[in-house]
Copies of this chain bind each other. A is one copy, B any other.
Amino acid sequence: MATHEPIDAYAALEQAIDRVAESYDGRHEIDSLESAALPNRRAVIDALNHLKPAIYLGFYSRKPLTRASLRFCISEHLYPAFDILTEQIHRAVTYNDTYHLEQSPRPRSWSEQAVLRLFQRLPHIRTQLNKDVLTAFRSDPAAQTVEEIVFSYPAVEAITIYRLAHELYVQDVPMIPRIMSEYAHGGTGIDIHPGAIIGECFFIDHGTGTVIGETCVIGNNVKLFHGVTLGALSSPHKAHLSEGRKAGKRHPTIEDDVVIYSGATILGGETVIGRGSVIGGNAWLVESVPPGTKITYDARLTVAQTRRDGTHS
């Protein structure tokens, strides 16, 4: 019943708060107070959680759907998605233009158009995702139904968000595509940069730890496993880059019909994995391989026999 904190604890807290407030002295980049101008990560995620049902309506709706109610049910997701995304993109664009480009910001209508262009692409994206889902179904003997793939496969989550984020990336929307892809990364362990270009019928099995870099180009019918890195040979410090953010093609090209098993690492912007190749698990590749190559990782292992009771000698 008594007040738990003696007065001096709160007095000391007040002093600590003073010190933290003083630390916002403008000497750190993270001291920026322009909060109202910044996009809100939570809102971007909300928008994604409206776009996914618009794509897989029958899998998300908790209400009975009929042809007559279908259009409304899509509107119910796309209206809020439009309002939220327009607002968040407008914030990102305004902030970017004002503080980084130091020019007068693009008008709100620019952001509206960016969202509308994404929405106009949704029928196409749905066709692509349908192929991705079917590919997953055909590839995984453990999958019993298409439904369980849409419901539970992390790759579907990651690829869906990638395909949406990519549409904004190609329109040069700042910040938002990356917020989207890192959200997918956090939930699935699959890190697909929104700048990557990925063909049809793409699947990643298990997926945790797989990384697909910004300038990757991936063909059709490519299947990856978990722990696959499609990365840059080395990450030069920005200071070494020529002007502008584009650092050139730094990540590999994977042609059609390639399979890359778990733990394989393929690095470099000029590395091309030729059509139909199969890259074995744990492989490490920094050079191109011609079409039809089959790489098998040949682990060198030292084997010692212990006593039969299983304790090591």
Q: How far is the CB of A12 from chain B (nearest CB, A)?
A: 5
- Nearest-neighbour CB distance to chain B for A186, whole angstroms, equals 5
Known: A41-B151, A152-B41. A281 touches B265 (CB 8 A): yes
**A79 CA to B225 CA, complexed, in Å:** 40
Q: Mark A184-197, 1 if CB is under 8 A from B, else 0.
A: 01111101010100
> How many positions in chain A have a CB within 8 Å of any CB in the partner chain?
180
Q: CB distance A142 to B302 under 8 Å?
A: no
Inter-subunit contact B19/A123 (CB<8 Å): yes
- Once the chains bind, are A182 and B152 in contact (CB under 8 Å)? yes
4 nearest A-B pairs in the assembled complex, by CB-CB distance: A276-B310, A292-B306, A284-B299, A10-B68
Nearest residue, chain B, Cβ from A239: B138
8 further A-B contacts with Cβ under 8 Å, apart from A31-B58, A211-B262, are A30-B55, A75-B75, A137-B238, A144-B174, A206-B211, A262-B265, A289-B303, A291-B310
Query: Which residues of B have CB within 8 Å of A34?
Result: 58, 65
**Cβ of A162 under 8 Å from chain B:** no
Q: How far is the CA of A5 from the CA of B73 in the complex (A)?
A: 15
Is B281 within 8 A of A310, CB to CB? no
CB pair A1–B94 under 8 Å, yes or no, is yes
24 pairs, A vs B, C-beta closer than 8 Å: A3-B33, A7-B67, A9-B112, A10-B66, A11-B68, A16-B120, A23-B123, A33-B58, A35-B61, A36-B64, A142-B213, A145-B175, A152-B179, A154-B185, A186-B189, A208-B211, A223-B235, A277-B310, A278-B312, A292-B311, A293-B304, A293-B306, A294-B304, A296-B301
- A151 near B179 with CB under 8 A, answer yes
Q: Which residues of B contact A232 (CB under 8 A)?
A: 141
What residue in chain B is nearest A90 (Cβ atoms)? B1
Contacts of A297 in B (CB 8 A): 284, 299-302
Known A276-B309, A292-B305, A292-B309; contact A211-B226, beta-carbon cutoff 8 A? yes
Convert A242-269 into 0s and 1s, putting 1 for each residue whose CB lies closer than 8 angstroms to a CB of B. 0001010010000011000011010100
- Cβ contacts under 8 Å, A187 to chain B: 186
A95 to B301, CA, bound (A): 47
Contact with B along A120-143 (1 / 0, CB 8 A): 101100110110011001111110
Query: Beyond A68-B10, A300-B300, is A265–B292 a contact (Cβ under 8 Å)?
Result: no
